[in-house]
Amino acid sequence: MARVSDAGRVLRARTDRRARTFGHAWRSSLQVRVITTTLAIGALAVAAVGLYVGERMRDGLFDGRVEQLLEESARSTAQAQGTFDNSTAQTGIEAQRLLSDVATAQAAGGTGDREVFLLRAPGQTSAISFVQAASDASLFDMVSDPLRLATAEGGQHWQSVEWQVQDGAEPAVMIGQDVTVPVVGTYQLFFLYSLQAEQDRLDFLQRTLALAALALVVLLVSMTWLVTRQAVRPVRRAAQVAERLADGHLDERMEQRGEDEMATLARSFNEMATSLQDQIGRMEELSTLQRRFVSDVSHELRTPLTTIRMAGEVIHASRDDFPPGVKRSAELLFTQLDRFEDLLADLLEISRFDAGAAVLDAESRDVSDVVVAAAEHTFTLAARRGSWLRVEVPEARCVADIDPRRVERILRNLLVNAVEHAEGSTVDVLVGADRNAVAVTVRDRGVGMTADEAAHVFDRFWRADPARARTTGGTGLGLAISLEDAHLHGGWLEAWGRPGRGACFRLTLPRRAGIHLVDSPLPIVPPDDELPDPVITPTQRPRTDPAALPELPDDVPEPQEVR
């Protein structure tokens, strides 16, 4: 039983493997689908036509032969009746001899081999003992009672029968009609004809028809394969050329041959590829010029910015000697100089990413330590904004090969962004890990964002509400740089939000270089998304008094975002 079971499993495995192979070929190849569909439809059509033609041939051969045999048996019956009418038999012995002679004579006549039976008609009575005759007495049982009863009603009747011979069974037909025999009364004359010759002819015609159908299906599939190959081959070539173009081989072109529709397709495709190559070349040149311009401007601005910084520090140091308005202006100047320097630093970093010059200085570090360090730098800002910063790290170490400076910069940007939009709510930071990746989620319960806003939140200088000021001094490039830092590690940086219910950012980094991420240890959709927002009591709020923060005079404008 075990061997049988193992053989069954092997057979099922092979069948499943072949089914999967065919399924893959069906999904990935238009030619396979067309040929398979044509084969199925052609086979069904040929089978239907073959069945119809076969039945028509069978019926035609059978009906024609039966009609011929009916006419022949009618002539033979008339001939036998004439013999009986001309007979001078007076006794039962003479009648028996007459019946045997007629049966023998009729069996030798006709267009083919046949057997003859002379049986007393049902219901006949006579003083002479019952006699019967046949060319082969062993075949009396082939005359069925229903046929004898039908023949007794008068006229000619026939029935299809199966003739058992030495080589097997043959189709045959039994035909009967009443005759009047001297001395003994009414008898029934039956003729048994073999239809094996017609069956052999029908088998030959059906074999010929099957071979013709098979040849037709093969021809149909071959024509379909040839036509689809001529049609699909240029499409496959176009797909290969398109893949090569997508890989950066802009000089790749399709081969043009002839003047038909495929040649027109190749010519149009090549013209499109040439146009795309020219446009991409112009865009690359423009992008190179833009990156160089940003880098040059950023470097050139450092010198005057240094001078302005020195002058601003002198003014800021002497602000106590100025009137209140001028003193506040000096403080604003000093603050905006910090933002200006941050903007220049971000522009330089972006230009390095665009130029492909960013380098990852990776080392084995516990990501939880980096998260705690980034959170400590954000506690003061969270206190000023009235938010509670809650960090949860696992007990086990979350070690990964990372660049600590870049990861901390990502986390600072996420935390600052969360605090800015939390509107005084709690900001949760959660760290998780599995065998392949380490993840950090930053969740706030502030204004939130829509799915469309989440798709653009990492764009440079993008804001969901352009009228919203950057009160924490952001440059508009923090999240864009964070996304580039995550990609430099081979990781993900994703955003989720819901208007009025907050947002969640998830950073996922591989533990080792070369690991391809397929999943994250932490969900990006918070588990408590369907729950009401938590109630923050006064004891949970930071102890920093917002009233202690400096206020702007009425005559000093709010700082504007640097674009």
Residue 329 has pLDDT above 60, yes or no: yes
pLDDT at 552 over 80: no
Question: Sheet containing 437-444: which strands, arranged edge to edge?
Answer: 389-392, 427-433, 437-444, 502-510, 492-498
Q: How confident is the model at residue 439 (pLDDT cuts 50, 70, 90)?
A: very high
Q: Please give the average per-residue pLDDT across 73-93, as a whole number.
A: 83
- Residues present in the chain in total: 563
Q: Percentage of residues in the chain with pLDDT exceeding 90? A: 11
Model confidence band, residue 507 (pLDDT cutoffs 50, 70, 90): very high
Domains with residue ranges and CATH for the chain: 90-197 (3.30.450.20), 255-358 (1.10.287.130), 361-548 (3.30.565.10)
Burial of 357 per CB tally in 10 Å (0-12, 13-18, 19+): exposed
pLDDT digits (tens, 9 = 90+) for 209-255: 889 888 888 888 888 888 887 777 777 788 888 888 888 788 888 87
pLDDT interval class at 560 (50, 70, 90): very low
pLDDT in tens, 112-155: 678 888 888 887 766 565 567 888 888 888 888 888 888 888 88
> Is pLDDT above 80 for 74?
yes
Confidence of residue 472 (pLDDT cuts 50, 70, 90): very low
Tokens of 293: 């311009």
Q: Which residue has the higher pLDDT, 276 or 124?
A: 276
Q: Give per-residue pLDDT as tens, 57-71.
A: 888 888 888 898 899
Please report which helix (H) or strand (E) contains residue 236, including its range. helix 196-246
The CA-atom distances, in angstroms, between 336 and each of 81, 100, 331, 340, 551 are: 135, 136, 9, 6, 16
pLDDT bin (cut points 50, 70, 90) of residue 415 is: very high
Q: Which of 523, 340, 3, 517 is nearest to 348 (CA)?
A: 340
Q: What percent of the chain has pLDDT over 70?
A: 85
Query: In b/e form, how buried is each residue of 442-477, taking b as 16+ CB within 10 angstroms?
Result: bbbbbbbbeeebbeebbeeeebbeeeeeeeebbbbb
Report which of 180, 187, 197, 204 is spatially closest to residue 69, judged by C-alpha positions.
197
Beta-carbon neighbour count of residue 327 at 10 Å? 17
